[in-house]
């Protein structure tokens, strides 16, 4: 049988403990998870993509079936290229739900691909990459939110 591959797409600027928790909980559901870091040509990143990739790789260094890949362009196109049949996303609250619903429906129409949602663990639901960037910009300690060195 073909491997069941899921991509977990996002900006991951940075990848947080909330993202990490989500991937760990999704691992038993799939043969492989590809953490797909979207590179938007118009949106400048704050954290270096190489550093974030290295950090994530360090978290999954024990032979888990996780890969990190950068991608550009349409998520559905990237999913096809890597042989993924599922898009994985997290839901923190009702705002996430409304936003994610329209993206998932569009991806279904565009690429005939299903999106699987996991609810964020309550202890991580408040973690938000935008807030982590603000803390870092203001010389705050982000280690409470980010499980590796940046």
CB crowding 72-97: b at 16 or more within 10 Å, else e: eeebbebbeeeebbbbbbbbbeeebe
Among residues 59, 113, 120, 132, the one that binds ligand ADP under rule CB under 6 A: 120
Q: Name the segment binding ligand ADP (CB under 6 A); options: 47-55, 58-66, 106-114, 119-127.
A: 119-127
DSSP classification of residue 136: H
Q: What is the distance between the alpha carbons of residues 100 and 27, in angstroms, rounded to a whole number?
A: 21
Interface with ligand ADP: number of residues (CB under 6 A): 15
How far apart CA 71 and CA 118 sit, in angstroms, is: 22
Contact residue for ligand ADP among 59, 89, 113, 115 (CB under 6 A)? 89
User: Residue 137: which of 150, 123, 124 has the closest Cα?
Assistant: 150
Site string for ligand ADP, 28-67 (x = CB under 6 A): ----------------------------------------
Query: Interface with ligand ADP by CB under 6 A: which residues?
Result: 10-12, 16, 18-19, 22, 89-90, 92, 96, 120, 124, 127, 129
């Amino acid at each position: 049988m073909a491997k069941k591959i899921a991509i977990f797409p996002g900006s991951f600027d940075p990848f947080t403990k909330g993202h990490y928790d989500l991937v760990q909980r999704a691992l038993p559901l799939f043969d492989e998870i590809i953490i797909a870091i979207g590179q938007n040509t118009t949106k400048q990143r704050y954290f270096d993509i190489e550093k974030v990739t290295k950090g994530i790789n360090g978290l999954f260094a024990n032979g888990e079936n996780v890969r990190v890949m950068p991608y550009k362009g349409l998520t559905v196109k990237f999913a096809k290229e890597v042989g993924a049949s599922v898009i994985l996303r997290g839901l923190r609250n009702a705002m996430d739900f409304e936003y994610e619903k329209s993206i998932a429906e569009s991806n279904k129409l565009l690429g005939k691909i299903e999106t699987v949602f996991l609810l964020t663990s309550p202890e991580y639901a408040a973690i938000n990459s935008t807030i982590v960037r603000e803390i870092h910009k203001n010389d705050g300690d982000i280690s409470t939110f980010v499980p590796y060195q940046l």
